[in-house]
Structure 1
Amino acid sequence: MTVPNALSVLRLFGVPLFLYLLLGPHADGWAVVVLAAAGASDWLDGKLARWLDQTSKLGMLLDPAADRLYIFATLLAFVVREIVPWWIAAILVGREALVGVCLLVLRRYGYGPFEVSYLGKAATFNLLYAFPVLLLAQGGSTAAEIARPIAYAFMLWGGALYLWSAGLYVYQLVLAVRRSPGVLAA
């Protein structure tokens, strides 16, 4: 267990706490703190992995898994609390399902997972930034009124980048499958 992997595992353990805070007592302030800590540990585990030369296959699985789990958990809680409409969550979760199917097809043809693109990282960053600001945008206070357009802008931009990165993954899949022996190029 490396230091970056330990941070990723701690981030994973934060997901149930985050969900409890959002759905149980509606402790949005504390949920923002948990989400911010998760975002900081996401940045820190990548930096530490490179700095300490502790990059690992486990870390390459844990880090994106934690990101995806936070995105899924946040969307679920936001739909339950009616912070975002269900169709936005469905589009983003559908994107994840599409990428998951692509990974299965890649594996079937003997390839490993996609390289993480900067576009995908930017999309995840925007979404993970939008979520706490969306929480801060709840209510009728002046701070909420200021936060609301910022939150929606990050959500829309992150969602668009998320879908664009999925399109690039599908394109990479098509190219990989076409290069595979025994596959006729159309």
Structure 2
Amino acid sequence: MSTDGPAISNRVITVPNLLSFLRLALVPVFLVLILRGEDALALLVLVISSVTDFLDGLIARRFHQITRLGQLLDPLADRLFIFAALIGLAVRGVLPWWFLAVILGREVLLLVIGVGLANVGYGPLPVHHLGKVATFCLYYALPIIMVAQAFPATAPVADPVGWAFALWGAFLYWWAGVLYLREAVRVAKLG
């Protein structure tokens, strides 16, 4: 029995990749809607993005259309939606700027780690489950906070729940970042 994972192709034009390109195209639309305070429409765009995210993964696995490009586009779209929400909500004063700085600071750390590893001949580190949980928390925190903005009657519940996810996500984001840094140092010492 083979322990190899699914075949990964170099194809560019696949249904999952087209869905990922659609998601990327929706990021600026999402940001503009947030900046205009049209949170209900921004949430609708986010729902469409989430459905296409689910579908691209499902189709890629089911029809053996996993590609290197898709492996880059999917997490890129996730991150860009998170950053668009962070920036838009910070500009409007819904989120404090320090929260945006905390999340961006971790991304800078990962960029430095990636460049450092590339300089010693290593590719990117595998994604840690803690990083996935952190992204999950942030990916849900920001829409929940937006629900409180779009539908003020939900604010007494949505705000505390959204902030609980946001703060926990930020903590886990940094914890995962420290684990990546520790692993990068270990890998670099082996080389």
Q: TM-score, normalised by structure 2?
A: 0.88
2: CA distance between counterparts of 1:14 and 1:178?
Answer: 42
Contact kept in structure 1, 2:39 and 2:149, CA below 8 Å? no
Separation in 1 of the partners of 2:127 and 2:119? 20
* Aligned counterparts of 1:77 and 1:66: Cα–Cα separation in 2: 16
User: Does residue 176 in structure 1 map to residue 187 in structure 2?
Assistant: yes
CA distance in 2, matches of 1:75, 1:44: 25
2:40 counterpart of 1:16: no
Corresponding residue to 1:42 among 40, 53, 68? 53
Alpha-carbon contact 1:23-1:81 (below 8 Å) kept? yes
Q: Distance in 2 between matches of 1:126 and 1:21?
A: 22
Cα distance, 1:169 vs structure 2: 0.9
User: What residue number does 1:184 align with?
Assistant: none
Q: Which stretch shifts more, 164-173 or 138-147?
A: 138-147
**Paired residue secondary structure (1:113):** coil
What residue in structure 1 maps to residue 64 of structure 2? 53
Shift of 1:140: 8.3
Structure 2 unaligned blocks of 5 or more: 1-12
Alignment-derived partner of residue 100 in structure 2:
89
Match in the other structure for 2:77: 66
For residue 17 of structure 2, what is the aligned residue in structure 1? Answer: 5
Distance in structure 2 (CA, Å) of the matches to 1:82 and 1:153: 18
C-alpha separation in 1, matches of 2:156 and 2:88: 21
The structure-2 alpha-carbon separation of the partners of 1:141 and 1:16, relative to structure 1 and needing over 3 Å to count, comes to closer
Moved more, 34-43 or 119-128: 34-43
Q: CA 1:45–1:140 in structure 2 vs 1: closer, same or farther (change >3 Å)?
A: closer
Question: 1:122-144 CA deviation, whole Å, 9 max, x = no partner?
Answer: 11111111111101112784312
The answer to whether the 8 Å contact 1:39/1:128 transfers is no
Alignment coverage as a number of residue pairs: 179
After TM superposition, which residue ranges in structure 1, 4 or more long, deviate above 6 angstroms? none
Tell whether 2:168 aligns with 1:137.
Answer: no
Q: Alignment partner of 2:149: what SS?
A: coil
Which region of structure 1 is more displaced relative to structure 2, 47-56 or 80-89?
Answer: 47-56
Equivalent AA in structure 2 for residue 150 of structure 1 = V
Q: Equivalent residue for 1:110?
A: 121
Alpha-carbon contact 2:35-2:89 (below 8 Å) kept = no
Q: Which of 138, 147, 154 is the equivalent residue of 1:127? A: 138
> Equivalents in 2 of 1:152, 1:37: separation in Å?
23
The offset of 1:117, in angstroms, is 2.0
Q: Secondary structure at the match of 1:87?
A: helix
Shift of 1:71: 1.5
The Cα shift of 1:46 comes to 2.2
Consecutive unaligned residues of structure 1, counting only runs of 5 or more, are 181-186
Q: How far does residue 8 in structure 1 lie from its aligned partner after superposition?
A: 1.1
Q: Partners in 1 of 2:64 and 2:190 — Cα distance? A: 33
Q: Please give the alpha-carbon distance, in whole angstroms, between the structure 1 residues aligned to 2:156 and 2:145.
A: 11
Partner of 1:80: 91
Could you say what secondary structure the match of 1:55 adopts? coil
